[in-house]
Chains A and B, each alone.
Chain A
Amino acid sequence: MTPTDSAAVELTGLSKSFPSRAGAVRAVKGIDLTIRRGEIVAFLGPNGAGKTTTLDLVLGLTSPTSGDVRVLGRSPREAVRAGQVSAVLQTGGLLRDLSVRETVQMIASTYAVHAPVDDVVRRAGLTPIEKRRVSKCSGGEQQRLRFALALLPDPDLLILDEPTAGMDVQSRRAFWDAMKVEADAGRTVLFATHYLEEADAFAGRIVLVADGEIVADGPTDEIRARALGRRVSARVPSERLPDAVAHLRVMAIVHDVAVEQNRLTVESSDSDAVARELLTSWGAHDLEITSGSLESAFIALTRSDTEGAVA
């Protein structure tokens, strides 16, 4: 990466701990991540995975315990001040006694130059309710208002933290439609979500986080196959186990093979083929197939990670 084409986001060895009564809580544990300009990246993970903390660090709302954050080649605060990055944050954070339009005007006044208020209100679909008090707006409407605020500086990088939390299906779809227009205009988008479907529908790349660490990072198709793949587990006679593992590992449909005593666990996008192989060629018995929900993918990915570290 040349200096003239700095990455949209560059995180190196990023860690963040919070003091608590029971000692420091490590919310982010050494994240390295580079997001190129123009990418649409989903930060996918369960609640408490450290998504919000990481995004706060990218936005300069909090500073890292160790490691470094560069946003478009600058420090986060500089990028924010230049209007190059903006964000839709999670619930909270609006003044309830202002109207929709007044809120946009108020935030607009903090920028040296900004997109026209009318324009931003229209793009977020708020024109019909622009005189409504924020306290009278639904959760989805408030979220669209936060989106309007994020559009004001005409940002290069747009960050969304669980933008559709609390929305019904219809407003969720409307939100992503509006978002799509912005992304097509060439903005880099980084969004946190715990809905796989959302990441799948909108992102080109998924970064899977759990327990403050990146557990998987790759094109959406790949991660989806992994997350939604099935898991085949079976007992294989111990003398044949090493050969079986070696054989399975080179199969294209197999993502991961784990061994616990003489029980094999195989993550695969084609569980039928793996089961047939195990039963016919390797004398497997006690075979089980479980479908991988996103939750189980998280669990599998995090567990294999920590076990790897111990072993």
Chain B
Amino acid sequence: MTTATTKPSSTLETPARKPRVTGLGEPTERGKRTAYLRLELKRVTRDLVTMFFVVALPAFMYLLFGASAGWSQQSAGNGNVALYVMISMAAYGAVTATVGVGGTAAVERMQGWGRQLGLTPLGDGTFVAIKATVALLIAILPILVVYVLGAFTGAKGSLMAWAGSAAILVAGAVMFALYGLIFGMAFRSESSVSAASGSLVILGFLGNIFFPLSGFLLDLARFTPLYGYVSLARYPLTGGDVVDTAGNLTHQPLWMPVTNVVVWTVIFAVLATWLVQRSRGRQ
């Protein structure tokens, strides 16, 4: 259509609708994007299996390895060891949440929901924004639960150690939505999301989350994605000190976890973009 006018295209481009029998589906309700977000949150929270791994398991592990362990009251910098374990377990719960959200987003889009959404005005950008918000809000759940448990069971630390670590945990968890997305896009089935979540257990061990590593494993750990994330979250507490299996302290400069997080975010983003483009090409 060639229209040189600056007028809104109402009269020329969209002629009056064909006269209809009235009373059939006059658009009278307003769509609310918040309704989409609310329903997405409802979906995740009523999925009890997911909620178990996201909230209950980290909370349980904190109580086992943090609150009730003999060393829980020892110092770990700006707080005690209980706080250290609390941050670790909250990190595990938060990334499990975002990996799940990212993975299901990819799988449901490829299994046809993407086509259904393609018939609506909802843009790709809005979809991503909604899913990212869902990931963020769900990631807050385990952090909140584990931190509240911590506060009641002897985790102690400076205000900065509490607030700083929580903020880093929330912000950093979002990058793992991309990790889930990559699994979902690459393997295209619901089981790929379980595989992604399962792989987090291994990455959790390698990331120095569940128990302190040392020697070769610790050297290797520094290059794995969860290591950077959890080290950064612990930084406000430890100031960069790392405890190894033997209880020795080593200092680790801030640039190490920062570089880890930046590099992995770039890797995830590039891989995810490539996979999205590949799936577009197949349409």
Check B32–A109 contact: CB distance below 8 A.
yes
Interface residues of A in 103-125 (CB under 8 A from B): 105-117, 119-120, 123
Residues of B within 8 A of A84 (CB): 14
In whole angstroms, what is the CA distance A116 to B25 when docked?
A: 7
**Residues of chain B with a CB closer than 8 A to A270's CB:** none
Answer whether residue B246 sits at the interface, using C-beta atoms and an 8 A cutoff. no
Chain B positions within 8 Å of A116 at CB level:
28-29
Contacts of B119 in A (CB 8 A): 59, 61, 80, 86-87, 89, 149-150
Shortest CB-to-CB span from B140 to chain A, Å, is 22
CB contacts (< 8 Å) of A19 on chain B: these are 281
Which of B113-134 touch A at CB < 8 Å? 113-122
Is the Cβ of B14 less than 8 Å from the Cβ of A115?
A: no
| A interface residue count range (under 10 / 10 to 19 / 20 to 34 / 35 or more) | 35 or more
Query: Which of B12, B26, B111 makes the CB contact (< 8 A) with A92?
Result: B111
| Interface residues, chain B, with chain A CB atoms under 8 Å away | 1, 12-15, 17-21, 24-36, 39, 42-43, 46-47, 108, 111-122, 281-283
Checking A5, A95, A111 against B31 with a beta-carbon cut-off of 8 angstroms, the contacting residue is A111
Name the one of B24, B25, B108, B120 contacting A107, with C-beta atoms under 8 angstroms: B120
Within 8 Å of chain B (Cβ to Cβ): is A299? no
* CB closest chain-B residue, reference A149: B116
Give complex CA distance A117, B108 in Å.
23
What 10 additional pairs, Cβ within 8 angstroms, besides A3-B1, A61-B115? A73-B1, A80-B121, A81-B121, A93-B113, A97-B46, A102-B39, A111-B121, A115-B29, A116-B29, A117-B29
Question: Is B31 a contact of A110 with CB atoms below 8 Å?
Answer: yes
CA distance A102 to B21 in the complex (A): 28
Closest A residue to B20 by beta carbon equals A186
A154 touches B26 (CB 8 A): yes
Convert A174-190 into 0s and 1s, putting 1 for each residue whose CB lies closer than 8 angstroms to a CB of B.
Answer: 00000001101111100
A85 to B281, CA, bound (A): 24
A19 to B17, CA, bound (A): 39
Q: Which of B27, B118, B121 sits near A154, CB closer than 8 Å?
A: B27
Which of A97, A110, A113 is close to B43, meaning CB atoms less than 8 Å apart? A97
Residue of A at shortest CB range from B31?
A111
